[in-house]
Amino acid sequence: MRKTLMAIISATLVATLAGCAAPSASADEVRSEKPREAFPDVAAEDLNTLNDGNNAFAFDLYHQAIEGSENLFYSPYSISIALGMTYAGARGDTEKQMAEVMHFVLPQEGLHPAFNSVDQALNSRGEGAQGKDGEGFRLNVVNAIWGQRNYSFLQEYLETLAMNYGAGLRVLDFQNAAEESRLTINGWVEDKTEERIKDLIPQGGINSMTRLVLTNAVYFNAAWASQFEEAMTSQGDFHLVDGGMVQVPMMRQMEGFRYADMAGYKAVELPYDGHELSMVLLVPDEGGFANFEETLDSTVVDRAIDALETTQVSLAMPKFKLESSLSLSEALVALGMTDAFSPGVADFSGMDGTRDLYISEVIHKSFVEVDEAGTEAAAATAVVMEATAAPMQPIELTVDRPFIFLIRDVETETVLFVGRVMDPS
């Protein structure tokens, strides 16, 4: 039996271009010698403020990214990290607009250590838990910045990124070797995502005017705490929003899950092995997807999670695989981040001491695959622990219509991934 349940990869890139024809020169390549600060002392209140803001941005972006009846999958956390590194160099109105759009409430000196604390907590997850092929659970969050050779970046900016994001400056020659630089960055992303995200930056995405590229990659691979038996999977109907219907493989199991029956939708939480992360399904009532989606925000999600209670659930849900490639520039501008993308207006003087830099593009690619597999020992433990308080009559939940799901870290409540399944076929 395959042990891969969930392989989720996300990569985000922010490309910052110079507005002048030639970079300012420096005698030596500028690098930060500062090591990453291990588990900084950050107040719990600041961590809650950061996660509340990140989760609010997650669903602001959702409403900008949805289009018609298409599937959608993205990592708002990956995007927040990449733009957090960019925000460290923003000043003036550019800084204010980014803070408002990203819900960065904390001051700069508090925001980046808070990101560092959450980042390292996430990277510590899954000790002893299962992932694919017996290799173990993986949740890896990595960052890198790529700068033009001989361009003068401020040491303070480089140190902020090195200490809080583990992102040391990697020197490339965008001016004279743009295509080779693109392939180098894409190769790094491919390596960090176990070859799931390829060609993050398309041809032409980097040119001779590029001065800085900031990248984040997230890789997640975990087994269910309670597996779906492959023998129980069979074809079933999935009803589309346009009234059509498709046949898809439906996984089935009866288990003690945390479940909530809310006004207009149902919610169920499926924990991963180790019980440190979980998937939450939000399943609108039949015919109510559009109305539910219109109201979806972080408050709705918090309310659903708070209402979850363990009960016996007879669950049927589709297997699915989604891939998304998003250009986020228009979405971010629509949310109010206008100056950052405007040459001559953007103020990223915290990066290089000038106002020559602006964001040319924010690119995001992601992948998710969900199937039956998991770890039997962990599943058995989950049955014993959760089924004891279950009622005699199980609640039936058949996910045979469009739904929304999210992957979250239980302790920090960070929403790592958000998905919209309109057609799992």
Is 242 found in the same domain as 176?
A: no
What total of structural domains would you count in the chain?
2
Is 289 found in the same domain as 176?
A: no
With tokens 């009846």, the residue in question is 69
Is 239 found in the same domain as 108?
A: no
Per-residue pLDDT of 198-250, as tens digits, reads 888 888 888 888 888 888 888 888 888 888 888 899 999 999 998 999 999 99
Is 190 found in the same domain as 304?
A: no
Quick one: average pLDDT of 53-64?
Answer: 96
The two most distant CA atoms of the chain are separated, in Å, by 75
Rounded percentage of the chain residues whose pLDDT exceeds 70: 86
Per-residue pLDDT of 138-177, as tens digits, reads 888 888 888 888 888 899 999 999 999 998 888 999 889 9
Is 173 found in the same domain as 73?
A: yes
Residue type present at position 321: K
User: What CATH number has the domain bearing residue 256?
Assistant: 2.30.39.10
Is 166 found in the same domain as 95?
A: yes
H/E element holding 350?
helix 349-352
Is 280 found in the same domain as 202?
A: no
The bridge status of strand 265-271 relative to strand 277-284 is: antiparallel
Report the predicted TM-score, pTM, of the whole model to 2 decimal places: 0.89
The whole domain housing 136 covers 6-222+322-368
Compute the distance between CA of residue 310 and CA of residue 292 in angstroms, rounded to an integer. 24
Beta strands in 133-176 (DSSP E): 138-148, 169-172
Collapsed DSSP state (helix, strand, coil) of residue 44 = helix
User: What CATH number has the domain bearing residue 74?
Assistant: 3.30.497.10
Per-residue pLDDT of 352-399, as tens digits, reads 999 988 888 888 888 888 876 522 211 111 111 122 233 446 788 898
